[in-house]
Structure 1
Amino acid sequence: MDPALTKERAVMRAIRRLVVLQPHGLGDMLMTTPMLGGIRRSYPEVKVTVVCSSPAAAALVAGMPLGAEALVFDPSRSPLKNLGTLVLKLRRFRPDAFLVTPWMTPWKGELLARLSGAPLRVGAQSWWPIGGYTHVVPRAQAVHKVEGHLEMARELFPDLKETPLIFPVPPEARAEARRFWRRFGFEGRPVLGVHPGGDHRNPNKIYPLENYLKVIEGFLAAHPEAGCLIFLGPSEEGLQKRIPQSSSRIQVTVRQRLPVTAALLGQVRVLLHSDTGLGHLAAAVKTPVVSIFGPGNPDISEPRGELTRVVTLTPRLPCQPCVYTRRYPKCRYNACLKDLAPDLVLSAIMEMWRLATHTSDLIPEGSKACTCH
């Protein structure tokens, strides 16, 4: 056997401290959990630190049985100061390996990997490599992010097996969700969940609110027995003023803790969203999901669940998908979403509503798992 290969395998077996860079949103973090869970199961001796960009993503890591810790690093706020602080923390951690998730901005991830001091550094192939990686994985555009993360990790852990995508809901969160349910007047009533917001840094991925309202109006007219629960996050409170609440059948929940949000998602019959992290969280508690995709690519980021459906323009525009291209931030009209008729979205919800199994209570915690096939 090649002596260099033998030495490399010995170094890999000695990995005890791993850093995973995942600076994207809640959905991307959820799609990383099958990899993190696999490391936890197959390599329990490895201590994992996940670098993420939001408190919600950090709460997700802390609330799941992954055996990992989270560091929050938001590159949009005082980037040089925050970067220096992060590098100091990473060097004190003294990682044996550093893994950069495939959809990170190439040169930033490569630079941070190099500055961390880790002897093993894994990342995706970039157009302008700066010598930061010891292991370079070809950038596969058509691979779902769950598989992409696993492929990266197998450079360090060849025997890695994926684990189900899960979000365990604590009993106290389920109890709080039931109290909300009674307050909303939803007991005994099937409910459609809607998340009309999204990441404020990616406004081009959000379906127009006026179209969401048309879909909700059409749905409630067709289902007089049903209610609608609208989910809004910390950066979406401004939308609440634009949502008419003249009917008790429409309720809005704002800024709930992540476990409570997951518990509420477990009680709706179907969730409608536009390519956001809440769709992945709903799938992780076995709630059927209808996802609206415009500039995003469902082939790589559609929620993984037993009942999921993607709604997009058919046929696609020549520029779709564009979210990981230079065209994306320059788009002004956003035709891929603005031209998507509410009737088409409503039809998808009606179909999913018929397929979904209604339950007025939460699924028991032990069964709240959505396997990523």
Structure 2
Amino acid sequence: MVELRPLNVSLSAARILIIGPSWVGDMVMAQSLFISLKQTHPDCLIDVLAPAWSAALLARMPQINQAIALPLSHGQLALSTRIKLGRQLSQQHYRQAIVLPNSWKSALPVFFADIPLRTGYIGELRWGLLNDARRLHKQRLPMTVQRFVALGLPANAAPAPAYPLPKLLVSPALQADVRAKFKVSAGSKILAICPGAEYGPAKRWPAAHFAEVARQKHQAGWQVWLFGSVKDQAVAAEIQTLSGGIGRDFTGNTSLGEAVDLLSLASVVLSNDSGLMHVAAALDKQVIAIYGSSDPGFTPPLHPQAKILSLNLPCAPCFKRDCPLGHTRCLTDISPAIVLAAIQP
């Protein structure tokens, strides 16, 4: 069972529980909701119930009072555990819960926590679990971030709300810690490459293209760092082989928090449409985002200077894991030269 901190303020302060998403990019975009809530209710306390990995991101969001680890694996129902968790959460006297995932099971804890106002989209027929169940109008709210922020507003609020940009805060002390641990120097410009994409190959720019960009920036005096999870080690190794081993490969060798802190040292981040792309945008980095099968209008990097590279082919976005036409031209035809031209000198 999770361990909650005792109340440290009077119950007159509004306490809000957010049931957070299960993906890195979505959690970053959820910060726009947290910021919006604090702008509207400056004295509110925001707790987030989410997978344990998300604590590293939430710790870098100053709007969050407490991160509560969901003691379940992704997709696990565990009905009795969710009921017990809800009853435990009832001791925190939340005034409102906002459920960001659309699944039925994600709304169970807030129902059993007896939270007076339980907000979320109808999702999997959650009428009984939510008492502020809203229909999602996809055309009115085309972006994921808009959908999150709208849940923090009254149900009759104007459509397409303005959304504050996510902003992760990395202290100089945290930067110093990762510099010392990984023995890195930030004396020259750093190109951070994020070659993975959890969804599938139709979101991944070719390793050979990444390698060509890495070679040219290295020749210009830049450092090249590669980031990702254990699942991305194979593509990172391929990039290293094709580029002559010029990069520093961090894939699978950092925690999420360490990856965030290292990315905060980068000059430019080149990424597929992935969670780390959203992290980089929230770190105020120059982001070059490559889109293939996904839609940059739905989940773009939330930064005004981010450069989105998409060929807008007639077959895209197809939202498929693998190219149904077998050529993945939406990615392969974005040449290294196009990317290099997008990187500021």
Fold conserved (TM > 0.5)?
yes
2:3 corresponds in structure 1 to: none
Within 5 A, what are the aligned runs for 1:331-370?
333=323, 338-353=328-343, 356=344
CA distance in 1, matches of 2:37, 2:15: 12
CA distance in 1, matches of 2:254, 2:112: 36
1:251 paired with 2:251, answer: no
Within 5 A, what are the aligned runs for 1:176-215?
176-179=177-180, 183=183, 187-188=187-188, 190-199=189-198, 202-203=199-200, 206-207=203-204, 211-215=206-210
> For the Cα contact (< 8 Å) 2:191–2:269, is it kept in 1?
yes
1:32 paired with 2:38, answer: no
Within 5 A, what are the aligned runs for 1:197-236?
197-199=196-198, 202-203=199-200, 206-207=203-204, 211-218=206-213, 220-221=215-216, 224-225=219-220, 226-236=222-232
1:345 Cα deviation after fit: 4.6
SS of 2:240 mapped into structure 1: coil
Output the amino acid matched with 2:240.
Answer: P
Listed one character per residue, the Cα deviations across residues 232-251 of structure 1 (whole Å, up to 9, x for unaligned) are 22554455554435745322
CA distance in 2, matches of 1:62, 1:48: 12
1:175 corresponds in structure 2 to: 176
Cα RMSD after superposing both structures: 3.5
1:47 corresponds in structure 2 to: 45
Within 5 A, what are the aligned runs for 1:52-67?
52-55=50-53, 57-67=54-64
Output the amino acid matched with 2:204.
Answer: Y
1:344 Cα deviation after fit: 0.9
Flag the structure with higher helix content.
1
CA distance in 2, matches of 1:130, 1:83: 18
Comparing 229-238 and 150-159, the one that deviates more: 150-159
CA distance in 2, matches of 1:347, 1:251: 22
Output the amino acid matched with 1:117.
Answer: D
CA distance in 2, matches of 1:304, 1:337: 29
> For the Cα contact (< 8 Å) 1:288–1:352, is it kept in 2?
no
Structure 1 residues 19, 192: CA separation in 2 closer, same or farther (over 3 Å shift)? Answer: same
Identity %: 18
1:139 corresponds in structure 2 to: 136
Output the amino acid matched with 2:341.
Answer: E
Structure 1 residues 17, 157: CA separation in 2 closer, same or farther (over 3 Å shift)? Answer: farther
CA distance in 1, matches of 2:326, 2:29: 24
Structure 1 residues 251, 316: CA separation in 2 closer, same or farther (over 3 Å shift)? Answer: farther
> For the Cα contact (< 8 Å) 2:18–2:47, is it kept in 1?
yes
Listed one character per residue, the Cα deviations across residues 160-204 of structure 1 (whole Å, up to 9, x for unaligned) are 9854421111112222454578x567733x3321111233xx335
1:87 corresponds in structure 2 to: 86
TM-score scaled by structure 1?
A: 0.73
* Structure 1 residues without counterparts, runs of 5 or longer: 1-13, 323-327, 359-373
* Structure 2 residues without counterparts, runs of 5 or longer: 1-11
SS of 1:35 mapped into structure 2: helix
Which 4+ stretches in 1 moved above 6 angstroms?
Answer: 156-161
SS of 1:264 mapped into structure 2: helix
1:116 paired with 2:106, answer: no
1:252 Cα deviation after fit: 0.8
Output the amino acid matched with 1:33.
Answer: Q
> For the Cα contact (< 8 Å) 2:117–2:131, is it kept in 1?
yes
CA distance in 2, matches of 1:312, 1:237: 25
Listed one character per residue, the Cα deviations across residues 69-103 of structure 1 (whole Å, up to 9, x for unaligned) are 112224437531653453343233342211112xx
Pick from 285, 296, 299 the counterpart of residue 298 of structure 1.
296
